Chain A
Amino acid sequence: MESNKEKYILISDIKKSYGERQVLKGLDLSIEKGEFVAIVGKSGCGKSTLLRLIAGLESNDEGSIYMNGEPLDHLNKYARIMFQDGRLLPWKRVIDNVCLGIPDTARVKATDALRQVGLDERMNDWPSKLSGGQKQRVALARALVHNPSLLLLDEPLGALDALTRIEMQDLIESLWKEKKFTSILVTHDVEEAVAIADRVILIEDGVISVNQPIRLPRPRQRTHPAFSMYVEEILEKILNRKKNKITLVKKSRKAQV
């Protein structure tokens, strides 16, 4: 069991079903402390489910999850999750959303977190007055204020326009570098995964079918030939294309899964 303790997160053979439908079918995954892992896979393959299991919001049917060497039961106290749809409370002002779950005395920390995402000037606005990108930045601040050692990101940039997306990716990457938390990002954009992660994981048929470390220096140049090689390789595996069809993939490099 000694090796379990070295891994920050150790997931072995977890299974999870909803009704008749088995979503995760014996999935194994281990993550080092401080690592940035991106999870890709077709819609409905169980990416959110895996993330929610790691967050402790749901429990697995079989298998085990070890967190920091301890079996995970109930809510994962190390983790904070950021959702696809932001999930800001519409009836709380921006600052009060960020203060969620922290003591009143820690309001200063909330202001700091808002400053880090560049939204301290909007702290007294209602969430409905913010743009999609701004809402996600508030959601990011809300997660950061807890100083999580594990940040779970469930397609947080999915609904944003291309420019805002790249801006947010840079923001997340710089915060990750600065605060040294471990991060798991679910995304449907392979390019995004390669741009930001140390390792890209593909979930297919309820298990991990690809586990691809990305050995590129940061900050990553999207124009770098190795960059597009990684993207193509992963896309190819997702789409199950043979080598001779790669040209197709090349044409639509922004192809989304």
Chain B
Amino acid sequence: MKFIIKESVKKFIPWFLPLLLIVGWQLFSWVGVIPERILPAPTKVLQAGIELLSTGELSSHVGISLGRALAGFLIGGTIGFVFGLLNGMFKVSDLLFDTSIQMLRNIPHLALIPLVILWFGIGETSKIFLVALGVLFPIYINTYHGIRTVDKGLVEMGRAYGLKGRALFFAVILPGAMSSILVGVRFSLGVMWLTLIVSETISAHTGIGYMAMNAREFMQMDVIVLSILLYALFGKLSDMIARFLEGKLLQWNT
């Protein structure tokens, strides 16, 4: 027998397991196999979400977390990108900076949390700083590597056809490095969430991580689970953004 999978069905298949999990979870909660103090039912979590949404608490925490993530990503990403470009293209800059950056890279940035708290307190700066630091290195390394491995033949061809400076950069070097740069972007989006979760959980007054830690004090299991689900959702979202960028910028590669 032959199975022909329709397009519409194909789209649904990846969601089948998560859905099954939620339905199973709900059923077991109803029957009482999963005690509420271990794991509240999905409906309970949803209810908590709606409640927090109505008080405006949820959107304010989510907004703050997203803001931190974005700010840290932009700052760290820009610095990593610029240094990756410079060190990839210019010998002087490479000699001057690469060794130092490689050394810094080997320090786990989360190990800096105590120091960062002493420096910046537990305000916005400390979180944005940590996210930026975490994001910087994957972007740097992949940009650097991408620029370094651009096909020399294509660069020579570009020069032979009269391109130089900016024109050569935008026509040959940057597009040639793009797939590697996007690998860096994808990876750093993961680092971004991880850093944010850890730093918000350890020290914050606001944000999704704080919401979870605060709920723990009041034994609000539903809010804790809600926070975790939110992180999962945002992780999936940033993955979709990365995919979108790849589809747009690497169109020729399909």
Contacts and interface: CB of A to CB of B under 8 A. Distances in A.
Interface in A72-91: 75, 80-81, 83, 85, 87, 89-91
For the complex, would chain A's binding face be called helix, strand, loop or mixed by DSSP majority? loop
A83 B252 contact: no
B161 interface: yes
Contacts of A81: 160
A101 B252 contact: no
A75 B171 contact: no
Contacts, number: 49
Contacts of B253: 90-91, 128
Contacts of A87: 153-154, 156-157
Interface of B: 153-154, 156-163, 167, 171-172, 175-176, 178, 250-253
Nearest first, the 9 A-B pairs at minimum CB distance are A101-B161, A87-B157, A101-B162, A91-B175, A91-B252, A126-B252, A100-B161, A81-B160, A87-B153
Interface string A77-117: 00011010101011111000000110000000000000000
A75 to B, nearest CB: 7
Contacts of B158: 100
Contacts of B252: 90-93, 126-128
For the complex, would chain B's binding face be called helix, strand, loop or mixed by DSSP majority? helix
Contacts of B172: 89
Contact of A83 (B157, B159, B178, B251): B157
A239 interface: no
A16 interface: no
Interface in A157-197: none
A57 interface: yes
B161 A89 contact: no
Given A90-B252, A91-B252, A100 B160 contact: no
A241 B204 CA distance: 86
Given A55-B160, A100-B171, 18 more contacts: A57-B159, A57-B160, A75-B159, A75-B162, A80-B160, A83-B157, A87-B153, A89-B172, A90-B252, A90-B253, A100-B158, A101-B161, A101-B162, A126-B251, A126-B252, A127-B252, A128-B252, A146-B162
